[in-house]
Amino acid sequence: QSAYGNSDGSTSFYNWTSSPNKLTCADMESNDIDHLDGTYGRKLFYEARGYSVSDCFNQKTDNNGGGFTLNNFKAEIDAGHPVLLNLAGHSIVGYGYNGSTIYIRDTWDNDPSHTYTMTWGGSYSGMALQSVSVVHLVQTGSYRQYLPVLWNTTAPAPNPFQNPGFEQGQVSWTEYSSGGWDLIWPAGSPPVAAHGGSWLAWLGGADNETAQLSQTITISGTAPYLRFWYYSASEDVCGFDYFRIKVNGTEIYEFSLCESSNSNGWVQVVLNLAGFVGTNKTVMFEVTTDGSLNSNLFLDDVSMSSSSTLMEEEPVPAEYYPGSALLSK
């Protein structure tokens, strides 16, 4: 994988940067990315096993500026075609639906008795839906299809954070800014694109600022891991501006915002909050800055999880995350 520019365990899926249309396997060949794309790799695998392939494409979903809709997903399922769904950091398989709720197989879990669901166009474990990968095999004969009957199933524990990706705007979170700034922003206002969806939180971006974003939740012993994505951009030297996380006032994480540690993109952090299991736990994200040299912290897709495993981000065009964010509010 490293020979193709991927970190261990990750796979690249390409899409048109602006067009909502399908990026077909033929398009991949003409753009010389067929040797890099995971969907094209599936095509080669099937062909190596003696099958013929018809449709073969990637396409952004309609919540991400693409043309693949819930109705398209339902049509694939009704035709007996499971759909590979690419999230921001993970790939899962969709195999059924009930209205806008889709049934999925989490590829990190090989136990078929576990049933997982998500809402079309939403997020799964804090990871937003971004695109689909579709490969159809040519039918060579008649066959019968048997679909499983599901009952007595238990869905994963819901994310205790309300409005975890800020897509509902300034609700559910308590915002404080010593400079009077809003902390939750829609697309087009901050100088970077959101990690998932179109809203994000922006802390810092002004001198002598204290910004605090918090929410009171129940921390479960079965899902004690705090997950979030951040994008840091600073022109300061280390040791003056800080990003901190506190639970009921106890600091559990500190990171110096400085030019030498700029993330240059979205980075995921996973923290173990097993020591804070219980109700009425206030989780606070805080940024403090001094009187000079701007620092920014962008935050998105906050969740609690049963897993401590870090997830790799899906590759996206560079234009999607435009450079260092050294603009003041």
Global pTM reads 0.54
Q: What is the mean pLDDT of each run of 10 residues along the chain (329 residues)?
A: 58 89 93 90 92 94 94 93 91 92 86 85 90 88 58 64 95 97 90 90 96 97 94 95 97 95 91 95 98 95 84 38 44
Q: What angle do CA 75, 76, 78 make, to 5 degrees?
A: 60
Contact in structure between 263 and 313 (CB atoms under 8 Å)? no
3-state secondary structure of 74: helix
Every domain range in the chain assigned CATH 2.60.120.200: 174-320
- Closest among 257, 266, 269, 321 to 293, alpha carbons compared: 257
Q: How far apart (Å, rounded) are the C-alpha atoms in residues 57 and 316?
A: 17
Q: State the fold for domain 174-320.
A: Jelly Rolls (2.60.120)
The per-residue pLDDT for 158 is: 82
Helices of type H across the chain: 25-30, 38-48, 70-78
Q: What CA–CA distances, in Å, run from 63 to 121, 196, 323?
A: 5, 10, 24
pLDDT confidence of residue 47: 92
Tell me the C-alpha distance between 262 and 301, whole Å.
Answer: 19
Query: Mapping DSSP to helix (H, G, I), strand (E, B) and coil, where does residue 322 land?
Result: coil
Which of 260, 269, 257, 327 has its CA nearest to residue 297?
257
pLDDT of residue 10: 73
